[in-house]
Amino acid sequence: MIKEELQYQARRALPGALEALANSVLKTSEFFIVNNTRDQRKQIEAPADKFKILAKNAREGRDVTYQEFDAVLRELRAAGKGTDQEFVSKVAKALIEAQ
């Protein structure tokens, strides 16, 4: 019973955690754009859009895997953008507890 409650709470928390991460990326993206090029901006902001899609999927009851999340996170880091570890940790925690 306790495990099911934790899974339920984690599934409820996941969309908000993903949205918060996406919003943080967008809010701070200007600090990581070195040459202010459109391509660089797209490379940094595209993962934020993907986090929002994952949030939408989770909100609609579709499964979101840690592998999907990690792939977007790696894409973001490859673009030269760091993230606030607090947001990443909240998403990771929700994904792990939702299993």
54-96, pLDDT tens digit by residue? Answer: 999 999 999 999 999 999 999 999 887 888 899 999 999 999 9
CA dihedral 37, 55, 71, 21 (to 10 degrees): 60
- Check pLDDT > 70 for residue 15: yes
The answer to pTM > 0.85 is yes
Top mean pLDDT of 32-36, 38-42, 64-68 is at 64-68
Domain that includes residue 58, residue range: 2-97
DSSP H helical segments within the chain, as ranges? 2-28, 38-59, 66-78, 85-97
Round to whole Å and give the CA distance between 52 and 20.
9
pLDDT of the residue at 36? 64
The number of distinct structural domains making up the chain is: 1
The pLDDT mean for the chain works out to: 90
